[in-house]
């Protein structure tokens, strides 16, 4: 059957479907539109893609198949859906740098470089590597994002912890929110990691909490200082139960609690920092008060490479800079 459009069917789909065989390649997919003129344009585009070899021939591996294999093997699923919709039956051999760049521009037209890298370049690279295709993929300019290294002074942090008791919320909510903030500040956890901690993964005896999956894709065992242990013992619902440690969800209500707390504490944060300020504070305090250097921070497993951890190098005076004391100076005459 030649390649042609199948019209929308009442009660089943409002969209045109492309169905049939062209140059030995069978196609059956939705156009995603109910407008015939657009569907016909997509049909012509599909014919061109087949002629150019962008659609896999019978027996040739496709991106969709490789993505399914990748996820079945335990790969990250989070950003796969739009990629499978976009690349779909495209042959793996045709997915090169320009194809990935086009996908990034079309799927996330308003996304910044860091977003496109995280949600397009990184997962596509992972799928290709899993399929045995090794190619060097250039990331978009600025993909590391703009480093933000704002942090809280001890005086500011203590004022914030104390101010949680002044916000308009039930007493248990205020207590639990204070415990969450202390946990973030003294462990360097990301907010998403902290909100996802399960009670069964917290061991007060060994002063550790297990994060099975982190942003880096690896599990992390987090050390819980005594100040955090003391706070966790005050959790309103306790620890001897199933489920998540905290009841909060990452949304507007949680940010409202933070805004009220900051206002009560008289502390203002830079734009678009919010809860991540506590992560920066932990890293800064670990350098200033804990004596850690860049590679020590990497060894905490909070960062995967020295480049990311090195942004905190400026918060302490290095031993090398102190060598300025040895520079020659002119001798002063005695009065």
How confident is the model at residue 82, as a pLDDT? Answer: 87
Domain annotation covers residue 203: yes
Domain annotation covers residue 105: yes
How confident is the model at residue 212, as a pLDDT? Answer: 82
Please check whether residues 86 and 173 belong to one and the same domain. no
Tell me the pLDDT tens digit for each residue of 276-325: 889 888 888 878 777 765 556 556 655 455 444 444 444 444 555 555 55
Please check whether residues 160 and 44 belong to one and the same domain. no
Confidence of residue 234 (pLDDT cuts 50, 70, 90): very high
Domain annotation covers residue 322: no
Between 54 and 250, the more confident residue is: 250
Please check whether residues 110 and 240 belong to one and the same domain. no
Please check whether residues 123 and 186 belong to one and the same domain. no
How confident is the model at residue 312, as a pLDDT? Answer: 45
Between 32 and 212, the more confident residue is: 212
Domain annotation covers residue 204: yes
Q: Is the pLDDT of residue 147 over 80?
A: no
- Judged by average pLDDT, the poorest of 58-72, 205-219, 264-278 is 205-219
Q: Is the pLDDT of residue 21 over 70?
A: yes
Q: Is the pLDDT of residue 179 over 90?
A: yes
What is the domain range of residue 159?
Answer: 154-315
Q: What is the 3-state secondary structure (H, E, C) of the chain?
A: CECEEECCECCCECCCEEEEEECCEEEEEECCCCCHHHHHHHHHHHHHHHHCCCECCCCCCEHHHHHHHHHHCCCCCCCHHHHHHHHCCEEHHHCCHHHHHHHHHHHCCCCCHHHHHHHHHHHHHHHHHHCCCCCCCCCCCCCCCCCCCCCCCHHHHHHHHHHHHHCCCCHHHHHHHHHHHHHHHHHCCCHHHHHCCEHHHEECCCCEEEECCCCCCCCEEEECCHHHHHHHCCCCCCCCCCCECCCCCCCHHHHHHHHHHHHHHCCCCCCCCCCHHHHHHHHHHHHHCCCCCHHHHHHCCCCCCHHHHHHHHHHCCCCCHHHHHHCCCCCCCCC
Please check whether residues 89 and 37 belong to one and the same domain. yes
Domain annotation covers residue 293: yes
Tell me the pLDDT tens digit for each residue of 113-134: 888 888 899 899 989 988 888 8
- pTM for this entry: 0.56
Domain annotation covers residue 14: yes
Q: How many domains does the chain have?
A: 2
CATH number for the domain that contains residue 246: 1.10.443.10
How confident is the model at residue 20, as a pLDDT? Answer: 83
Domain annotation covers residue 281: yes
Please check whether residues 59 and 208 belong to one and the same domain. no
Between 192 and 271, the more confident residue is: 192
Please check whether residues 169 and 288 belong to one and the same domain. yes
| Most confident by average pLDDT, 92-101, 228-237, 300-309 | 228-237
Confidence of residue 58 (pLDDT cuts 50, 70, 90): low
Domain annotation covers residue 326: no
Please check whether residues 300 and 175 belong to one and the same domain. yes
Please check whether residues 115 and 178 belong to one and the same domain. no
Q: Is the pLDDT of residue 199 over 80?
A: yes
Please check whether residues 283 and 191 belong to one and the same domain. yes
Please check whether residues 206 and 266 belong to one and the same domain. yes
Please check whether residues 181 and 248 belong to one and the same domain. yes
């Amino acid at each position: 059957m030649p390649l042609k459009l199948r019209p929308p069917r009442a009660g089943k789909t409002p969209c045109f479907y492309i169905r049939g065989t062209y140059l030995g390649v069978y196609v059956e997919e939705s156009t995603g539109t109910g407008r015939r003129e657009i569907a016909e344009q997509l049909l012509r585009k599909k014919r061109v893609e087949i002629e150019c070899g962008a659609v896999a021939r019978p027996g040739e591996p496709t991106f969709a198949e490789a993505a399914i294999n990748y996820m079945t093997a335990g790969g990250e699923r989070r950003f796969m859906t739009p990629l499978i919709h976009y690349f779909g039956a495209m042959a793996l051999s045709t997915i090169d740098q320009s194809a990935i760049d086009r996908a990034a521009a079309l799927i996330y037209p308003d996304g910044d470089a860091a977003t496109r890298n995280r949600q397009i370049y990184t997962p596509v690279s992972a799928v290709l590597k899993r399929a045995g295709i090794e190619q060097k993929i250039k990331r978009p300019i600025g993909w590391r994002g703009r480093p933000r290294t704002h942090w809280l002074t001890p005086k500011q942090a203590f004022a914030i912890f104390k101010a949680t008791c002044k916000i308009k919320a039930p007493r248990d909510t205020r207590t639990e929110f204070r415990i969450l903030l202390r946990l973030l500040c003294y462990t360097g956890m990301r907010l998403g990691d902290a909100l996802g901690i399960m009670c069964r993964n917290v061991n007060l005896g060994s002063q550790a909490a297990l994060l099975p999956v982190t942003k880096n894709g690896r599990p992390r065992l987090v050390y819980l200082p005594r100040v955090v242990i003391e706070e966790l013992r005050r959790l309103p619902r306790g620890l001897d139960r199933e489920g998540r440690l905290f009841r909060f969800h990452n949304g507007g209500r949680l940010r409202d609690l933070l805004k009220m707390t900051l206002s009560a504490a008289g502390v203002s944060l830079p734009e678009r920092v919010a809860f991540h300020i506590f992560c920066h504070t932990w890293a800064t305090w670990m350098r200033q008060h804990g004596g850690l250097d860049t590679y020590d921070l990497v060894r905490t497993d909070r960062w995967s490479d020295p480049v990311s951890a090195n942004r905190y190098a400026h918060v302490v005076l290095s031993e090398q800079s102190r060598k300025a004391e040895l520079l020659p100076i002119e001798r002063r005459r005695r009065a």
